[in-house]
Protein backbone atom coordinates (compact mmCIF):
# COMPACT_ATOMS: atom_id res chain seq x y z
CA UNK A 1 0.00 0.00 0.00
CA UNK A 2 1.20 3.50 -0.80
CA UNK A 3 0.17 6.61 1.13
CA UNK A 4 -0.79 9.78 -0.74
CA UNK A 5 1.74 12.59 -0.64
CA UNK A 6 0.21 15.58 -2.41
CA UNK A 7 0.84 19.29 -2.47
CA UNK A 8 -2.93 19.73 -2.66
CA UNK A 9 -4.82 19.87 0.63
CA UNK A 10 -7.43 17.64 -0.96
CA UNK A 11 -4.85 15.01 -1.78
CA UNK A 12 -3.62 15.04 1.81
CA UNK A 13 -7.13 14.09 2.95
CA UNK A 14 -6.71 10.47 1.85
CA UNK A 15 -4.78 7.33 2.58
CA UNK A 16 -4.56 5.48 -0.71
CA UNK A 17 -3.88 1.81 -1.41
CA UNK A 18 -2.97 0.38 -4.81
CA UNK A 19 -2.52 -3.27 -5.87
CA UNK A 20 0.93 -4.72 -5.25
CA UNK A 21 0.89 -6.75 -8.50
CA UNK A 22 -0.41 -6.27 -12.05
CA UNK A 23 -4.02 -7.20 -12.61
CA UNK A 24 -5.24 -10.23 -14.54
CA UNK A 25 -7.84 -8.35 -16.54
CA UNK A 26 -6.65 -5.69 -19.04
CA UNK A 27 -8.40 -2.35 -18.90
CA UNK A 28 -9.06 -2.45 -15.15
CA UNK A 29 -7.66 -0.14 -12.45
CA UNK A 30 -8.31 -0.41 -8.71
CA UNK A 31 -7.48 1.76 -5.72
CA UNK A 32 -8.57 1.92 -2.10
CA UNK A 33 -9.37 5.18 -0.32
CA UNK A 34 -9.72 5.99 3.36
CA UNK A 35 -10.39 9.55 4.50
CA UNK A 36 -7.86 10.90 7.00
CA UNK A 37 -10.45 13.29 8.37
CA UNK A 38 -13.80 12.81 10.04
CA UNK A 39 -14.98 16.08 8.49
CA UNK A 40 -17.73 16.02 5.91
CA UNK A 41 -16.30 15.42 2.41
CA UNK A 42 -18.06 16.95 -0.59
CA UNK A 43 -16.40 16.55 -4.01
CA UNK A 44 -17.41 17.18 -7.61
CA UNK A 45 -16.60 14.24 -9.88
CA UNK A 46 -14.48 15.05 -12.93
CA UNK A 47 -15.42 12.81 -15.90
CA UNK A 48 -13.00 10.04 -16.92
CA UNK A 49 -12.81 7.85 -20.01
CA UNK A 50 -13.87 4.93 -17.84
CA UNK A 51 -16.90 3.45 -16.14
CA UNK A 52 -16.37 3.72 -12.38
CA UNK A 53 -17.50 1.25 -9.72
CA UNK A 54 -17.35 2.59 -6.16
CA UNK A 55 -17.73 -0.05 -3.44
CA UNK A 56 -18.65 1.58 -0.14
CA UNK A 57 -16.74 0.06 2.81
CA UNK A 58 -17.09 2.81 5.39
CA UNK A 59 -19.41 3.38 8.30
CA UNK A 60 -20.83 6.25 6.20
CA UNK A 61 -22.80 5.70 4.21
CA UNK A 62 -21.27 7.19 1.10
CA UNK A 63 -23.76 9.32 -0.82
CA UNK A 64 -23.47 10.05 -4.54
CA UNK A 65 -25.70 12.67 -6.17
CA UNK A 66 -26.31 12.19 -9.89
CA UNK A 67 -26.85 14.77 -12.61
CA UNK A 68 -30.54 15.11 -11.77
CA UNK A 69 -29.84 15.68 -8.08
CA UNK A 70 -31.05 12.23 -7.06
CA UNK A 71 -29.07 10.74 -4.17
CA UNK A 72 -27.69 7.18 -4.19
CA UNK A 73 -26.41 5.72 -0.91
CA UNK A 74 -23.82 2.94 -0.78
CA UNK A 75 -22.01 1.25 -3.66
CA UNK A 76 -22.64 2.71 -7.10
CA UNK A 77 -21.64 2.53 -10.75
CA UNK A 78 -20.94 5.86 -12.45
CA UNK A 79 -21.29 5.82 -16.23
CA UNK A 80 -19.31 7.78 -18.79
CA UNK A 81 -19.48 11.60 -18.80
CA UNK A 82 -21.12 12.10 -15.39
CA UNK A 83 -21.01 15.90 -15.37
CA UNK A 84 -22.64 17.25 -12.22
CA UNK A 85 -22.07 14.14 -10.07
CA UNK A 86 -20.98 14.72 -6.46
CA UNK A 87 -19.70 12.40 -3.74
CA UNK A 88 -20.43 13.17 -0.08
CA UNK A 89 -19.98 11.60 3.32
CA UNK A 90 -18.20 11.26 6.68
CA UNK A 91 -15.41 8.78 7.45
CA UNK A 92 -15.30 7.60 3.84
CA UNK A 93 -13.68 4.28 3.02
CA UNK A 94 -14.18 2.76 -0.39
CA UNK A 95 -12.66 0.67 -3.14
CA UNK A 96 -12.84 2.26 -6.57
CA UNK A 97 -12.60 0.35 -9.85
CA UNK A 98 -12.20 2.03 -13.21
CA UNK A 99 -13.18 -0.06 -16.20
CA UNK A 100 -12.29 0.66 -19.82
CA UNK A 101 -15.64 0.79 -21.64
CA UNK A 102 -15.03 -2.44 -23.64
CA UNK A 103 -14.43 -4.27 -20.34
CA UNK A 104 -17.39 -2.63 -18.62
CA UNK A 105 -19.67 -3.96 -21.36
CA UNK A 106 -18.99 -7.54 -20.27
CA UNK A 107 -18.42 -7.04 -16.55
CA UNK A 108 -21.51 -4.94 -15.86
CA UNK A 109 -23.84 -6.33 -18.50
CA UNK A 110 -24.91 -2.84 -19.58
CA UNK A 111 -23.40 -0.12 -21.72
CA UNK A 112 -25.64 2.40 -23.45
CA UNK A 113 -27.81 2.41 -20.33
CA UNK A 114 -24.89 3.85 -18.36
CA UNK A 115 -24.12 6.89 -20.47
CA UNK A 116 -23.77 9.70 -17.92
CA UNK A 117 -25.87 7.98 -15.24
CA UNK A 118 -25.38 6.68 -11.70
CA UNK A 119 -26.91 3.36 -10.68
CA UNK A 120 -26.74 1.20 -7.58
CA UNK A 121 -24.31 -1.72 -7.80
CA UNK A 122 -27.01 -3.86 -6.19
CA UNK A 123 -29.30 -3.10 -9.13
CA UNK A 124 -26.71 -4.48 -11.55
CA UNK A 125 -25.21 -7.39 -9.60
CA UNK A 126 -28.01 -8.26 -7.20
CA UNK A 127 -27.04 -10.71 -4.45
CA UNK A 128 -23.55 -10.99 -5.92
CA UNK A 129 -22.98 -7.35 -5.01
CA UNK A 130 -24.07 -7.96 -1.42
CA UNK A 131 -21.87 -11.05 -1.04
CA UNK A 132 -18.86 -9.28 -2.54
CA UNK A 133 -19.26 -6.28 -0.22
CA UNK A 134 -19.56 -8.54 2.83
CA UNK A 135 -16.34 -10.33 1.88
CA UNK A 136 -14.55 -7.02 1.33
CA UNK A 137 -15.55 -5.69 4.73
CA UNK A 138 -14.29 -8.88 6.37
CA UNK A 139 -10.96 -8.91 4.46
CA UNK A 140 -7.79 -8.37 6.44
CA UNK A 141 -5.88 -6.16 3.99
CA UNK A 142 -6.27 -4.04 0.89
CA UNK A 143 -4.44 -6.66 -1.18
CA UNK A 144 -7.02 -9.21 -0.03
CA UNK A 145 -9.75 -6.80 -1.05
CA UNK A 146 -8.22 -6.24 -4.48
CA UNK A 147 -8.00 -10.01 -5.00
CA UNK A 148 -11.68 -10.45 -4.08
CA UNK A 149 -12.78 -7.75 -6.51
CA UNK A 150 -10.51 -9.02 -9.26
CA UNK A 151 -11.91 -12.54 -8.94
CA UNK A 152 -15.45 -11.17 -9.19
CA UNK A 153 -14.57 -9.09 -12.24
CA UNK A 154 -12.83 -11.97 -14.03
CA UNK A 155 -15.75 -14.28 -13.32
CA UNK A 156 -18.30 -11.82 -14.66
CA UNK A 157 -16.12 -10.94 -17.64
CA UNK A 158 -15.87 -14.59 -18.67
CA UNK A 159 -19.63 -15.01 -18.36
CA UNK A 160 -20.52 -11.64 -19.87
CA UNK A 161 -21.39 -10.45 -23.34
CA UNK A 162 -18.32 -10.12 -25.53
CA UNK A 163 -17.90 -6.79 -27.23
CA UNK A 164 -17.57 -6.71 -31.01
CA UNK A 165 -13.85 -6.87 -31.90
CA UNK A 166 -14.44 -4.00 -34.32
CA UNK A 167 -15.76 -1.81 -31.51
CA UNK A 168 -12.83 -2.76 -29.27
CA UNK A 169 -10.37 -1.91 -32.06
CA UNK A 170 -11.99 1.49 -32.62
CA UNK A 171 -11.80 2.27 -28.90
CA UNK A 172 -8.13 1.27 -28.92
CA UNK A 173 -7.42 3.60 -31.83
CA UNK A 174 -9.09 6.46 -29.96
CA UNK A 175 -6.95 5.82 -26.90
CA UNK A 176 -3.73 5.52 -28.89
CA UNK A 177 -4.40 8.77 -30.76
CA UNK A 178 -5.66 10.74 -27.72
CA UNK A 179 -9.06 11.06 -29.36
CA UNK A 180 -7.65 12.62 -32.53
CA UNK A 181 -9.27 10.27 -35.03
CA UNK A 182 -11.64 10.50 -37.98
CA UNK A 183 -14.68 8.28 -37.57
CA UNK A 184 -14.99 7.63 -41.30
CA UNK A 185 -11.41 6.34 -41.41
CA UNK A 186 -12.03 4.05 -38.43
CA UNK A 187 -15.18 2.68 -40.05
CA UNK A 188 -13.24 1.91 -43.21
CA UNK A 189 -10.47 0.24 -41.18
CA UNK A 190 -12.89 -2.24 -39.60
CA UNK A 191 -14.88 -2.73 -42.82
CA UNK A 192 -18.11 -1.20 -41.55
CA UNK A 193 -20.25 1.64 -42.81
CA UNK A 194 -20.18 4.82 -40.75
CA UNK A 195 -23.81 4.19 -39.77
CA UNK A 196 -23.11 0.65 -38.56
CA UNK A 197 -20.07 1.74 -36.55
CA UNK A 198 -22.07 4.57 -34.99
CA UNK A 199 -24.89 2.19 -34.02
CA UNK A 200 -22.79 -0.68 -32.67
CA UNK A 201 -20.35 1.58 -30.83
CA UNK A 202 -23.17 3.54 -29.19
CA UNK A 203 -24.91 0.33 -28.12
CA UNK A 204 -21.81 -1.27 -26.60
CA UNK A 205 -19.77 1.66 -25.27
CA UNK A 206 -22.57 3.98 -24.22
CA UNK A 207 -21.48 7.02 -26.26
CA UNK A 208 -21.28 7.85 -29.93
CA UNK A 209 -17.82 7.47 -31.48
CA UNK A 210 -17.42 11.23 -31.76
CA UNK A 211 -18.36 11.82 -28.12
CA UNK A 212 -16.10 8.99 -26.95
CA UNK A 213 -13.12 10.43 -28.84
CA UNK A 214 -13.79 13.83 -27.27
CA UNK A 215 -13.95 12.23 -23.81
CA UNK A 216 -10.59 10.47 -24.30
CA UNK A 217 -9.02 13.76 -25.33
CA UNK A 218 -10.62 15.59 -22.39
CA UNK A 219 -9.31 12.95 -19.96
CA UNK A 220 -5.75 13.57 -21.09
CA UNK A 221 -6.27 17.34 -21.08
CA UNK A 222 -7.67 17.36 -17.54
CA UNK A 223 -4.72 15.45 -16.16
CA UNK A 224 -2.18 17.65 -17.92
CA UNK A 225 -3.91 20.73 -16.58
CA UNK A 226 -3.82 19.20 -13.08
CA UNK A 227 -0.10 18.53 -13.56
CA UNK A 228 0.47 22.27 -13.95
CA UNK A 229 0.64 22.69 -17.72
CA UNK A 230 -0.88 25.84 -19.16
CA UNK A 231 -4.13 25.69 -21.10
CA UNK A 232 -2.35 26.98 -24.20
CA UNK A 233 0.27 24.22 -24.00
CA UNK A 234 -2.31 21.51 -23.38
CA UNK A 235 -4.44 22.66 -26.29
CA UNK A 236 -1.45 22.59 -28.64
CA UNK A 237 -0.09 19.22 -27.47
CA UNK A 238 -3.33 17.25 -27.44
CA UNK A 239 -4.80 18.43 -30.72
CA UNK A 240 -7.38 21.08 -29.94
CA UNK A 241 -7.77 23.71 -32.62
CA UNK A 242 -6.87 26.43 -30.15
CA UNK A 243 -7.23 27.38 -26.49
CA UNK A 244 -10.84 28.43 -27.02
CA UNK A 245 -11.63 24.97 -28.36
CA UNK A 246 -10.10 23.44 -25.23
CA UNK A 247 -12.12 25.81 -23.05
CA UNK A 248 -15.40 24.85 -24.74
CA UNK A 249 -14.81 21.11 -24.40
CA UNK A 250 -13.68 21.34 -20.78
CA UNK A 251 -16.80 23.34 -19.99
CA UNK A 252 -18.94 20.79 -21.85
CA UNK A 253 -17.54 17.81 -19.94
CA UNK A 254 -16.73 19.23 -16.51
CA UNK A 255 -19.02 22.24 -16.29
CA UNK A 256 -16.12 24.43 -15.16
CA UNK A 257 -13.21 26.26 -16.79
CA UNK A 258 -9.75 24.74 -17.47
CA UNK A 259 -8.43 26.84 -14.58
CA UNK A 260 -10.91 25.19 -12.20
CA UNK A 261 -10.17 21.71 -13.54
CA UNK A 262 -6.45 22.29 -12.91
CA UNK A 263 -7.11 22.56 -9.15
CA UNK A 264 -10.03 20.13 -8.90
CA UNK A 265 -9.80 18.13 -5.64
CA UNK A 266 -11.02 15.00 -7.45
CA UNK A 267 -7.84 15.01 -9.56
CA UNK A 268 -5.43 15.77 -6.71
CA UNK A 269 -4.76 12.11 -5.91
CA UNK A 270 -4.62 10.72 -9.43
CA UNK A 271 -0.83 10.62 -9.66
CA UNK A 272 -0.85 8.19 -6.72
CA UNK A 273 -4.04 6.20 -7.26
CA UNK A 274 -3.91 5.98 -11.05
CA UNK A 275 -0.27 6.56 -11.96
CA UNK A 276 -0.45 4.53 -15.19
CA UNK A 277 -4.14 4.09 -15.96
CA UNK A 278 -4.96 0.76 -17.57
CA UNK A 279 -8.36 2.04 -18.65
CA UNK A 280 -6.51 4.30 -21.10
CA UNK A 281 -4.56 1.44 -22.64
CA UNK A 282 -5.64 -0.70 -25.54
CA UNK A 283 -7.65 -3.68 -24.30
3-state SS, one letter per residue, for the chain: CCCCCCCCCCHHHEEEECCCCCCCCCCEEEEEEEECCCCCEEEECCCCCCEEEEEECCCCCCEEECCCCCEEECCEEECCCCCCCEEEECCCEEEEEEECHHHHHHHHCCCHHHCCCEEEHHHHHCHHHHHHHHHHHHCCCHHHHHHHHHHHHHHHHHHCCCCCHHHHHHHHHHHHCCCCCCHHHHHHHHCCCHHHHHHHHHHHHCCCHHHHHHHHHHHHHHHHHHCCCCHHHHHHHHCCCCHHHHHHHHHHHHCCCHHHHHCCHHHCCHHHHCCCCHHHCCC
pLDDT digits (tens, 9 = 90+) for 99-109: 999 999 888 87
37 shares a domain with 71: yes
Q: Is residue 275 part of a domain?
A: no
Domain holding 57, by residue range, is: 11-161
Q: Is residue 271 part of a domain?
A: no
222 shares a domain with 143: no
Predicted model pTM: 0.89
Q: ∠ CA(239), CA(83), CA(261), 5° rounding? A: 55
131 shares a domain with 101: yes
36 shares a domain with 155: yes
132 shares a domain with 34: yes
| Structural domains of the chain, count | 2
191 shares a domain with 110: no
235 shares a domain with 107: no
Final residue in a domain of this structure, among 135, 161, 187: 161
Q: Is residue 94 part of a domain?
A: yes
Q: Is residue 283 part of a domain?
A: no
- Among 143, 164, 128, smallest CA distance to 53 is for 128
128 shares a domain with 171: no
pLDDT, position 111: 60
Which segment of 20-34, 163-177, 257-271 scores lowest on mean pLDDT?
257-271
Q: Is residue 71 part of a domain?
A: yes
The CATH number covering residue 194 comes to 1.10.10.60
pLDDT digits (tens, 9 = 90+) for 108-119: 876 655 666 888
176 shares a domain with 104: no
Final residue in a domain of this structure, among 129, 161, 193: 161
174 shares a domain with 143: no
110 shares a domain with 238: no
Percentage of the chain modeled with pLDDT above 70: 92
Q: Is residue 276 part of a domain?
A: no
The CATH number covering residue 25 comes to 2.60.120.10
Q: Is residue 270 part of a domain?
A: no
Considering only residues 73 and 230, tell me which one the structure prediction assigns the higher pLDDT.
Answer: 230
Q: Is residue 120 part of a domain?
A: yes
43 shares a domain with 76: yes
pLDDT digits (tens, 9 = 90+) for 154-196: 999 999 888 999 999 999 999 999 888 899 999 999 999 999 9
Amino acid sequence: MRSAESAHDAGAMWDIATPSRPGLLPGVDMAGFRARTTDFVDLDVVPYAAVTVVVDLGDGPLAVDDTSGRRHNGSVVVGLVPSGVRGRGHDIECLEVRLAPPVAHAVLGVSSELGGTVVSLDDLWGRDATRTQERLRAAGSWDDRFAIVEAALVRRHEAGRAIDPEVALVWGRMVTNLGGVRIERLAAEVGWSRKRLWSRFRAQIGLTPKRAAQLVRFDHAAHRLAAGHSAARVAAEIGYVDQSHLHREVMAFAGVTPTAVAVAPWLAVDDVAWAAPAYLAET
